């Protein structure tokens, strides 16, 4: 199957006419004709790059509602909102789980990043849904990544819950300790240092916060008469959280293991042009290493393409929340320097593929306006959806990455 995208803008990169299956070749396929000595340097398939500072222009941020600090309740607040006292307004994202792949937490962070004042992410250090559900723990990379994004992290814990009426082995309607959160938010308003300085101070409270979470869940278990997960893993985490250095080492080992699992796992929501996943390790001088998995990779000459994939099985395109969640990852990729596979340097191009079997044809953010409008018309896009994608395409062009919006046959 051949896919021809819209006509190129002036100076647009020459990747717009592609053959679907062969285009996204793996490192190993691309190098198959190279000498064995050169191929061996790529055998890990691992990609690395450096990041110093994130420069990024946003066009999709939602208009956030404002709450007053004096009557603020974190448990009834929106996912992203503004919080004001008599002197200052800060932008806040509320995380449901400490795990970055649940409930679109980065979409919420994205909506706060355009705020000119302080940015805050309130994150539970543990979320236990009961023995029949999931349990997630905070990872160090989440704190350091948010530091890189100039976001203050406020660690939190769940103090209330109800028994799930449909599942005897699960709890639901969990609530964060609002009194605690209010006192911490007052501290953020008064704090005059950098987000990095705040987060370093917050990291020293990790052990105490994990202990608070453990005690709170013990009470929740009694109150709801519901078995939660064994405390052994949490006890191990508490031991490692005695110092930030120990927690960093422990957490990064976990992150690397998770990266390896994701590398081997097919994501059902992602319809990929080929099986070319790759591990991406990002290095930062201040905050260390970040471990990611990129959905697709491709090499053309000296250029490496990192391609994220988002798919919708039923809707015309992936949800706007899902797209914005993915944009935070692209913020990192688009700011990478010194990109290598093994020890071999490459130039970098960054893309995100948005697919649905409901779409007809394909278009990309570097196409001419007339081609984009024709694609919208052929797919009966509503006015609000047209405006969303025009802003999304503008964001891609301003930040030097590419959006591909196209038909996909079936979901994996």
Backbone angles phi, psi at 201, to 5 degrees: -70, -40
Q: What is the pLDDT of residue 53?
A: 87
Rounded mean pLDDT, 249-271: 57
When pLDDT is cut at 50, 70 and 90, the band that residue 255 belongs to is low
Please determine, for residue 95, whether its predicted confidence score (pLDDT) is greater than 90: yes
Q: What is the pLDDT of residues 97-113, one digit of tens each?
A: 998 777 789 999 999 99
Q: What is the pLDDT of residue 276?
A: 76
Q: Name, in order, each residue with C-beta under 8 angstroms of 301's C-beta and a sequence gap of 6 or more.
A: none
Tokens (6 digits) for 19: 């053959």
Q: Name, in order, each residue with C-beta under 8 angstroms of 79's C-beta and a sequence gap of 6 or more.
A: 93, 94, 104, 107, 108, 111
Q: How far apart are CA 348 and CA 300, in angstroms?
A: 10
Q: What is the pLDDT of residues 25-81, one digit of tens each?
A: 333 333 333 333 333 344 346 899 999 889 999 999 889 999 999 999 999 999 999
Residue pair 67/81 in contact (Cβ under 8 Å)? The answer is yes
Cα–Cα distances in angstroms (integers) from residue 285 to residues 35, 50, 149, 290, 368, in the given order: 35, 8, 14, 11, 40
Q: What is the pLDDT of residues 139-159, one digit of tens each?
A: 888 898 899 899 999 999 999
48: left (phi over 0), alpha (psi -120 to 50) or beta: beta
Q: What is the pLDDT of residue 23?
A: 33
Residue pair 289/281 in contact (Cβ under 8 Å)? The answer is yes
388 DSSP assignment: H
Helix (H, G, I), strand (E, B) or coil at 341: strand
Q: What is the pLDDT of residue 257?
A: 58
Q: pTM score, two decimals?
A: 0.82
When pLDDT is cut at 50, 70 and 90, the band that residue 186 belongs to is very high
Q: What is the pLDDT of residue 238?
A: 92
Q: What is the pLDDT of residues 261-320, one digit of tens each?
A: 554 555 444 444 444 788 888 988 777 778 888 889 999 999 999 999 999 988 999 999
DSSP string, 125-189: SEEE--TTS-EEE--HHHHHHHHHTT-EEEEE-EEEEEE-TT-TT-EEEEEE-HHHHHHHHHHHH
């Amino acid at each position: 199957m051949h896919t021809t995208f819209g006509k190129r803008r002036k100076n647009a990169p020459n990747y717009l006419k592609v053959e679907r299956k062969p285009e996204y070749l793996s490192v190993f396929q691309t190098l198959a004709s190279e000498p064995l000595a050169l191929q061996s340097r790529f055998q890990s398939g691992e990609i690395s790059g450096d990041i110093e500072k994130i420069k990024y222009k946003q066009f999709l941020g939602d208009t956030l509602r404002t709450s007053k600090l004096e009557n603020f309740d974190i448990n009834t607040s929106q996912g992203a909102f503004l919080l004001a006292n008599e002197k200052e307004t800060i932008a806040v994202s509320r995380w449901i789980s400490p795990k970055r792949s649940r409930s679109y937490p980065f979409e919420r962070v994205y909506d706060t990043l355009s705020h000119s004042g302080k940015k805050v992410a309130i994150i539970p250090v543990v979320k236990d849904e009961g023995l029949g559900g999931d349990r997630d723990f905070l990872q160090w990379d989440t704190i350091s990544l948010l530091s890189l994004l100039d976001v203050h992290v406020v660690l939190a814990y769940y103090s209330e819950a109800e028994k799930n009426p449909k599942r005897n082995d699960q709890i639901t309607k969990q609530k964060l300790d609002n009194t605690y959160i209010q006192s911490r938010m007052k501290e953020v308003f008064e704090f005059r240092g950098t987000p990095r300085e705040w987060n370093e101070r917050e990291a020293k409270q990790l052990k105490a916060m994990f202990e608070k979470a453990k005690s709170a869940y013990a009470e929740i278990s009694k109150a709801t008469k519901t078995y939660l997960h064994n405390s052994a893993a949490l006890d191990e985490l508490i031991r490692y959280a005695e110092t930030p250095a120990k927690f960093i080492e422990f957490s990064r080992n976990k992150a690397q293991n998770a990266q390896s699992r994701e590398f081997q796992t097919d994501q059902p929501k992602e319809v990929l042009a080929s099986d070319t996943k790759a591990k991406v390790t990002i290095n930062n001088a201040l905050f260390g290493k970040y471990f990611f998995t990129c959905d697709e990779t491709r090499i053309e000459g000296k250029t490496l393409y990192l391609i994220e994939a988002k798919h919708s099985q039923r809707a015309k395109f992936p949800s706007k929340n899902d797209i914005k969640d993915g944009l935070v990852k692209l913020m990192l990729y688009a700011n990478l320097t010194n990109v290598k596979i093994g020890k071999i340097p490459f130039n970098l191009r960054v893309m995100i593929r948005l697919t649905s079997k409901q779409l007809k044809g394909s278009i990309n953010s570097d196409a001419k306006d007339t081609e984009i409008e024709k694609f919208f018309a052929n797919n009966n896009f509503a006015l609000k959806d047209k405006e969303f994608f025009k802003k999304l395409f503008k964001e891609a062009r301003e930040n030097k990455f590419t959006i591909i919006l196209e038909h996909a046959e079936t979901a994996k």
